[in-house]
Amino acid sequence: MKKGVSKSAIIWIVIILVVIVAAYFAIKTITGQTFNSPATLRGCTEDDGGKVANVPGTNVLKFKEPGSTVFFYQNISDSCVNATSVKEYSCGNNSVGKIGYYDDIINCAANYVCKNDAKGRGYCGTSAPLYNTCVDSDGGQNFTLRGSVNFTNTQGGTFYGTDFCTSANNLTEYYCFDIGGGNKNYGVVGFNCSSLGNYVCSNGACVYSPPSQVCGNGIIEGTEQCDGANLNGQTCASRLGAGYTGTLSCSNCTFNTAACIAPTPIAANCTDTDGPYKYGYGSIYWDNRTWKGTANYTVLGSGINMTGCVNVAGNYSCTDFCSTSQNLTEYYCNSTQGAIVSKRYSCSSCSNGACPY
């Protein structure tokens, strides 16, 4: 049999030559870049086609630790180094075929600057933006926070405006808004801070201002009880208690009760034939429930039970009575109200207007 080079050996020789040639041309095209090849790197993919400065890209690095069967991944993306330079990542092999990735700093061409896309990846783009952009530092129509608007259009034109006060109450507010197609614009609106309540305009924002307290303006403010003729609906009775009459007034924004009239006390001619109403002590009552009596006077108290009362020429005569066999209605003179009042009692046996022991 004639000896010669085997077919498999020829294939390996061809593969080695291809790798060497490819490495040679790769080195020629990426001269000046830095080659990175971590020991655990097992693969590299990219989405911008390689060393393309005007296209933002991301390289996905595939790693596996020695002896492990689990892969993990890391993303590295093109980024702006400064206003006119971009760091560009690309996958490749070194001169001996070791897999890795390159990075290079590329200066953008004339009339191009380094920009970031929506994912924050850097690329060389035209100096004018692709869209109208607008940024508002206070997040929109935020009247209680001073903000500034920074606007740039696709022709490179710019506008910068900061919220400001036009008067003690009026604010001029700048804000951004969408106009469709990825574009934004800026607007301006006037706002009256007092519409928020006790707010005034100060340093480009609506700020809270505690209400001032001015006695004599007819408006009850702060700690004032009243102001002039404004008594806030109060009367002698509401201030001092039931039965008080007269005229409540206001002095130095404080209630003046000097002209209020106290309830008329029960005169000597208010009589109760079974004696005064009084409490004893403990749980035992020592009072006039055990005697039937009649109270006589010209004034009846509020809520009185009229069943036992008769009116003779403006004088009331109210006699104790049994409403049931165990319930007594007792009438007596009350000095606080200045009137005859009634009270209902329960007892074991009510008879002839009294609860005997």
Provide the pLDDT confidence category of residue 268 given band limits of 50, 70 and 90.
low
Q: In this model, does residue 312 exceed pLDDT 50?
A: yes
The distance between the two most distant Cα atoms of the chain, rounded to a whole number of Å, is: 158
Mean pLDDT of the chain: 82
Q: 0.95 exceeded by the pTM?
A: no
Q: How many CA atoms lie within 13 A of 264 on its CB side?
A: 11
Where is pLDDT greater, at 313 or 15? 313
Where is pLDDT greater, at 117 or 2? 117
The pLDDT score that the predictor gives to residue 333 is: 83
Spans of all domains in the chain: 7-126, 133-208, 222-261, 271-346
List of residues 6+ apart from 158 with CB closer than 8 A? 150, 151, 152
Provide the pLDDT confidence category of residue 307 given band limits of 50, 70 and 90.
confident
Q: In this model, does residue 315 exceed pLDDT 70?
A: yes
The pLDDT score that the predictor gives to residue 282 is: 25
Q: What does the DSSP assignment read for 33-89?
A: PEEE--TTEEEEEESS-SS-TTS--EEEEEEE-TT---EEEEEEE-EEEETTEEEEE
The pLDDT score that the predictor gives to residue 21 is: 41
Choose the most confident range, by mean pLDDT, from 8-22, 65-79, 343-357: 65-79
Question: Is residue 296 within 8 Å of residue 267, measured between CB atoms?
Answer: no
- Does residue 18 sit in helix, strand or coil? helix
Sign (positive or negative) of CA dihedral 300, 306, 309, 315: positive
Q: Which amino acid is at 63?
A: F
- Closest by CA position to 129, among listed 119, 117, 138: 117
Question: Is residue 292 within 8 Å of residue 352, measured between CB atoms?
Answer: yes
CB atoms within 10 A of CB 59: 21
Please write the tens of the pLDDT for every residue from 142-199.
Answer: 999 999 999 988 777 889 999 999 999 999 999 999 988 788 999 999 999 999 998 9
CA angle (52, 73, 47) in 5-degree steps: 20
